[in-house]
Chains A and B, each alone.
Chain A
Amino acid sequence: EAEVAQSPRYKITEKSQAVAFWCDPISGHATLYWYRQILGQGPELLVQFQDESVVDDSQLPKDRFSAERLKGVDSTLKIQPAELGDSAMYLCASSLVQGTGELFFGEGSRLTVL
């Protein structure tokens, strides 16, 4: 069964350091999402890609966060510098189509900022 791959699974870093997360969606899925999930809350959309283009990054803190999907396949989410409040689970999801498409999630990358 095809899966969304994410790495690393866990990351511990000190504040002001740079962090990067990687996601490889299910093959053929044009839409890719990065969500942040703080403990006890629902996933919050950070950025949405359609192929290699960003279609929504309205909730992405652009002063420290960046995301790219250069060839329209895998994607990287970067935080620089990391802050204590960035501690969360970062989820990647993909879907075949926008709109009615089911989201397929990866296992997530848990970030702890000390």
Chain B
Amino acid sequence: AQSVSQHNHHVILSEAASLELGCNYSYGGTVNLFWYVQYPGQHLQLLLKYFSGDPLVKGIKGFEAEFIKSKFSFNLRKPSVQWSDTAEYFCAVNGATSGTYKYIFGTGTRLKVLA
């Protein structure tokens, strides 16, 4: 069965600090990988995605993520966070099971950036 693990539930950083949020998944086949973000009071929205090709993908607002197949990981990074990055971040995996693509989300990481 598919599963997604996010190791950090709460992260507090000061502005300009670097960010790395861990995500590991479990799935036996080809997967598509996503990071979604939920800003306070807003709905979930896509941050970035990986389907194939270059394992280092860049998303909006300076975020990037690296797919490491051997480690089943898709960690999210940002070199220098801003106060406006305060949000909850969800890693998601999408893989085919019996012909149906199932979107599975991790438990989320709540990031607070201190000004």
A residues neighboring B (CB under 8 Å): 33, 35, 40-45, 48, 50, 55-56, 91, 93, 98-100, 102-103, 105-108
Contacts and interface: CB of A to CB of B under 8 A. Distances in A.
A82 B35 CA distance: 32
A105 B101 contact: no
A103 B36 contact: yes
Contact of B43 (A42, A100, A102, A106): A106
B96 interface: yes
Per CB-CB distance, the 6 closest pairs between chain A and chain B, nearest first, are: A42-B105, A98-B101, A105-B44, A99-B101, A105-B43, A42-B107
Contacts of A103: 34, 36, 44, 46, 92, 103
A81 B111 CA distance: 36
B32 interface: yes
A55 B97 CA distance: 11
Nearest to B41: A107
Interface in B90-115: 90, 92, 94, 96, 100-108
A55 B46 CA distance: 23
B45 interface: yes
Contacts, number: 56
B102 A43 contact: no
A102 B44 CA distance: 11
Nearest to A35: B105
Residue in B43, B46, B92, B94 whose Cβ sees the most chain A Cβ within 10 Å? B43
Q: Classify the interface of chain B: helix, strand, loop or mixed.
A: strand
Interface of B: 4, 6, 9, 32, 34, 36, 43-46, 49, 51, 90, 92, 94, 96, 100-108
A33 B100 CA distance: 13
A91 B94 CA distance: 18
A42 B90 contact: yes
Contacts of B96: 99
A102 to B, nearest CB: 5
